[in-house]
Amino acid sequence: MLGEQPQASSDNVYAQDKIAHNENIIYKCRAFGAVVFGILAGVFGLTSLWGLLVYVISSIVISIFLFATLPKLSIDGLFTSWMSILTGGFVQGAMTYVLVWTLAYDIVYIFF
Amino acid sequence: MEAQNTQLLVLDSSIRNWVLLPIVLFMFLFGILRHYATIALRTTRKNDKAKLEQAQTLARAQTVRTNANWIPHEAFLERKAFFNQPETGVLNKKIPANTLASMADPNNMVDMMKTNFATIVPNIVMWGWVSYFFSGFVIAKFPFPLTGRFRGMVQRGIELNSLDVSYVTSASMYFLILFGLRGLFSLVLGEANAADDAQLMQQQMMGPAAAMAGPGVDMGKLFEAERDNLELVTHESKLKEAETTLLNSSQ
């Protein structure tokens, strides 16, 4: 994982661009999950807290899948901490989720 | 329990077909257009040869200084002489003072303006379009309740106090779409899709040394400082004790 511009700290050396790339992939997974589960929540007509619950569940599901795809179930050489898998892109994904959820819900239930 | 407050409001499906979906589609396509316009407008900045040379020299001196202890003492002295020797040292070279401030460089101005245009103009255009054509009526309903505080924000132009706050006008949908589409763009366009991200990447590729050598930085001063730093290094080679360390660890 030693990139061309390693940033030296005391004993760990990280290639920041590679780490950023990996975190971007997590964000993409989250955004994709937000779209899929947002459509689901909207079509099933979930409102208020139920919709929020579905987003949290989708986030957990995606985290589990990400854990499962990690080689040897360890973050060595991929991320700096476990939290980036658990919570990476949570807030940005929430915006996408709310948008898709609102759109799907409105299209199905509000108009006639 | 909120049933009394929430009257069932049914909107005409023409609003969906001719307002809500077109706004989403338009903003999505506009975002993609902006992405490619940014790529088309981007210019690869030419590096001044002398400036790049100075930046690389500085970076090299810094590398020598930070890793000084990994080389033998003689080697370090040689390198120090290369940089610091009076008259001949690389860091003692006379550099013509950089009188041009960053704003005076026309290339910088043009780049800045392009970036600004690429981000601000589309937003103004879309915001004007949405608020000009679609203001004054309800176009959507959030599937979650909002408190009355938000009424002035989400129902601008509709003076109905009895209307449930989760019914919103085009203005608040605009902002929801604006923020929500970012996730979609990252899926569709890949990494670093926004203009500022592209800028950042460009800077990373050029390397910190080149970025530091931007206009407005007085390289003469930096050279002087680096010369002093190099002079102050107390050199203590780590290789001296290498054999003892190895023998101790194998015992």
Using H for helix, E for strand and C for coil, what is the string for B170-192? HHHHHHHHHHHHHHHHHHHHCCC
Residue A2: which pLDDT band, with cuts at 50, 70 and 90? very low
Q: Would you say residue B58 lies in a domain?
A: yes
Instruction: Quote the CA–CA distance of A103 and A11 in Å, as a whole number.
Output: 49
Which range has the worst mean pLDDT, A24-33, B43-52, B165-174, B195-204?
A: B195-204
Instruction: Quote the CA–CA distance of A106 and A100 in Å, as a whole number.
Output: 10
* Residue A54 belongs to domain spanning: 15-110
Q: What is the pLDDT of residue B4?
A: 44
Q: Would you say residue B82 lies in a domain?
A: yes
Which range has the worst mean pLDDT, A75-79, B178-182, B216-220?
A: B216-220
Give the DSSP letter of residue B165. Answer: T
Q: Would you say residue A90 lies in a domain?
A: yes
Q: Would you say residue B2 lies in a domain?
A: no
Q: Would you say residue A68 lies in a domain?
A: yes
Say if residue A94's pLDDT is above 50. Answer: yes
Q: Would you say residue B250 lies in a domain?
A: no
- In sequence order, what E strands does chain B have? 138-141, 167-169
Mutate which of B26, B141, B175, B188 to disrupt the A interface (most A C-beta within 10 Å)?
Answer: B141
User: In chain B, which residues have their Cβ closer than 8 Å to the Cβ of A51?
Assistant: 143-144
* Residue B192 belongs to domain spanning: 13-245
Instruction: Quote the CA–CA distance of A74 and A78 in Å, as a whole number.
Output: 9
Of B20, B204, B207, the CB nearest to A106: B20
Residue B94: which pLDDT band, with cuts at 50, 70 and 90? confident
CB-based contact A14:A76 (threshold 8 Å): no
Question: ipTM value of the model?
Answer: 0.79
Minimal Cα distance from B181: which residue of A? A96
Could you give the number of structural domains in chain B?
Answer: 1
> What's the whole-number average pLDDT of chain A?
80
Q: Would you say residue B4 lies in a domain?
A: no
CB-based contact B173:B181 (threshold 8 Å): no
Residue A22: which pLDDT band, with cuts at 50, 70 and 90? confident
Residue B139 phi, psi dihedral angles, 5° rounding:
-115, -15
* Mean pLDDT of all residues in A77-85: 76
Of A34, A101, A105, the CB nearest to B183: A34
Picking from B75, B71, B41, B45, the residue whose alpha carbon sits closest to that of residue B195 is: B41
Does B193 or A48 have the greater pLDDT score?
A48
Could you give the number of structural domains in chain A?
Answer: 1
| Residue count of chain B | 251
Q: Would you say residue B8 lies in a domain?
A: no
pLDDT tens digits, one per residue of B112-136: 777 777 778 888 888 888 888 888 8
Q: How many other CB atoms are found less than 10 A from the CB of residue A17?
A: 14
Instruction: Quote the CA–CA distance of B77 and B227 in Å, as a whole number.
Output: 13
Instruction: Quote the CA–CA distance of B166 and B138 in Å, as a whole number.
Output: 10
**Assigned token pair, A39:** 């459509």
Of A24, A28, A110, the CB nearest to B141: A110
